A and B are shown apart, each in its own frame.
Chain A
């Protein structure tokens, strides 16, 4: 087990290196090959109507004129150890982990990511808890009462949940619950540290919106999984032992049906932590998703690269956690 985790950690590092190399190549190598000069690149950092000497200074300071492999090396070094930018009189230090400077505001990328991450984290984790509980319990009940009114009704709603996009359900919920009935007026993000109550209250609608989509998916998955496992021989054995039906369902049925759910849950959560773009945009929450949208709109390559690296990190880590969880859940899996 320990060896497996170490092996996976090493692999994770290599995977992230690969992701960084690819994004770096896309953002800096391809434009260079297409004829963009380092001077033009440096011009992105200075405001309107810059003097050529100012641009030149930036170019030299950030080392944009050095060969690309050196720049990539410096990029990696910045991430793992921080980096000094030095052109004689003007020295600046970008501390670990350094993802470079934003074109937009000339600030380091990392602190901006860190300040936006709690928003996404609050949104994704809260939503995940909701959809996991809601989706799994609806799925189990549907499976047990297969063909009943409850089953048909909830599966109908689930179909709607899967098909309706977040920007539709989100706007409808805002219209109804925030504007019309004013249950949650003035939805905006408040930090959990500044006012936990307001934080939770403002997150209710985004959580429900996000959870609605995923709960629908999980309800269908759980239902299918439960229907399959409840037909297994070991369920019959559990009944033949004289186990009460509730225990048969939860301890023997649900336990086995949950295994694939755990896998998908880990991956979904990992993906969401990299930015719940639609939900954040719908509710104007300044999270990583919004950050990504802005970075793309501004063609702010260092920012995009930073977001990509963070998202990749979440996904790779989520994968690893899922694999470890799998071994705990299913004793047949061994490393």
Chain B
């Protein structure tokens, strides 16, 4: 059976006065029903633009989209806007980062869910209301029959996100995209929301894309992980591969900058030097090379000139876009995991004059 979602060489560019912003520059991945894909990356790596692109929310803007997004075999890039609108909210739904600003302040939570349901289902208001109450109950809102008439500002942060989830689930979507669903929430509430998403997923069998900069979130939920950098895929593989034996220096950087409960407190966190590059002037060659510690190991200036292809290095289904050889990666990661930063690695250039975007 074909995967539910196939993204093939997706490019989303924005023409601005300063130049073309290549927010997403040729990414591909597949997602099957019942699976969860985590998309990880820093701010500006193109995670959210990708998800909005899948939802067709760039239509009517100045974005230039090429490539293919196939949902159940139907190409959304080529489809008519009205067709994508029909699919939006019914076959694919989205949860946003900040539930307070993502809910309309002037309408009750119930009304907003009812509206979402009735766009795609010809039912009476009463039936839709009952459906909204059921949904609110299902996402864990206590006394949903009274809370359905509350306004978003009468809900707590976690409840608002639950309500958002209820709204997204109103038409039983086959694809659920959660864009930073826990970023705006308390830590304790974060865990609850993640549990809720994974419970509902196993109940409904939907495919889920979870977008985050928080590796802890993807570790908990994802089957597969896509690491994005500067609008491209840096590394793609199963969660076990990405966390167990990552193959890309950027992923190494992300993992070493994350505190771990299973390590001694004395282990120092290692930040990734520099800042994410401008998407107007993406660095030549490997976009990560100005921040990479390992360019010397590759040698020959290949990192500066040659774009590394995404290829499977060691295990099948686990690909990384890096010039390092498989042996080099294995050795460097083993050293890093042991808490040693090898001496033969040149300290990276911290500053990066060309790459800053004019503000």
Contact = CB atoms under 8 A, between A and B. Distances in A.
User: Interface centre among A239, A252, A256, by most B CB within 10 Å?
Assistant: A239
A175 interface: no
B102 A236 contact: yes
Nearest to B60: A245
A332 B152 CA distance: 9
Interface in B76-115: 85-90, 93-94, 96, 98, 101-106, 108, 112, 115
A24 to B, nearest CB: 44
B31 interface: no
B98 A233 contact: yes
Contact of B89 (A240, A252, A256, A332): A240
Contacts of B191: none
A330 B231 CA distance: 40
Given A240-B88, A241-B88, A242-B85, A234 B103 contact: yes
A233 B96 contact: yes
A18 interface: no
Interface string B229-268: 0000000000000000000000000000000000000000
User: Interface centre among A233, A236, A238, A242, by most B CB within 10 Å?
Assistant: A242
B151 A332 contact: yes
Contacts of A242: 85-90, 116, 119-120
User: Interface centre among A240, A244, A255, by most B CB within 10 Å?
Assistant: A240
Nearest to B81: A245
- Contact residues on B (Cβ < 8 Å of other chain), bracket: 20 to 34
B194 interface: no
User: Interface centre among B86, B108, B115, by most A CB within 10 Å?
Assistant: B115
A233 B151 contact: no
A284 interface: no
B105 A234 contact: yes
A252 B88 CA distance: 17
Interface string A226-241: 0000001110111111
B153 A233 contact: no
A243 interface: yes
B96 A244 contact: no
- Contact residues on A (Cβ < 8 Å of other chain), bracket: 20 to 34
B57 A331 contact: no
A45 B79 CA distance: 83
A197 B119 CA distance: 45
B352 to A, nearest CB: 31
Nearest to A232: B101
A130 B60 CA distance: 32
Nearest to B108: A331
Main secondary structure of the interface of A (DSSP, over half): helix
A329 interface: yes
A237 B94 CA distance: 8
A329 B106 contact: yes
Contacts of B116: 241-242
B63 to A, nearest CB: 14
B128 interface: no
Given A232-B101, A242-B90, A332-B105, A237 B151 contact: no
Contacts of B57: 236, 239-240
Nearest to B86: A242
Nearest to A332: B153
A239 B104 contact: no
B167 interface: yes
B55 interface: yes
B153 A241 contact: no
A243 B115 contact: yes
A232 B102 CA distance: 8
Interface string B129-157: 00000000000000000000001010000
Contacts of B120: 242
Contact of B103 (A237, A243, A256, A331): A237
B326 to A, nearest CB: 42
Contacts of A332: 105, 151, 153
28 contacts: A232-B101, A233-B102, A234-B101, A234-B102, A234-B105, A236-B96, A237-B102, A237-B103, A237-B164, A237-B167, A240-B93, A241-B89, A241-B93, A241-B115, A241-B116, A242-B87, A242-B88, A242-B90, A243-B89, A245-B60, A256-B104, A256-B106, A329-B106, A330-B105, A330-B106, A331-B108, A331-B151, A332-B105
Please give me the 8 A-B residue pairs with the lowest Cβ-Cβ distance, nearest first. Answer: A242-B89, A242-B88, A233-B101, A241-B89, A234-B104, A241-B116, A233-B102, A240-B94
Interface of A: 232-234, 236-245, 252, 255-256, 329-332
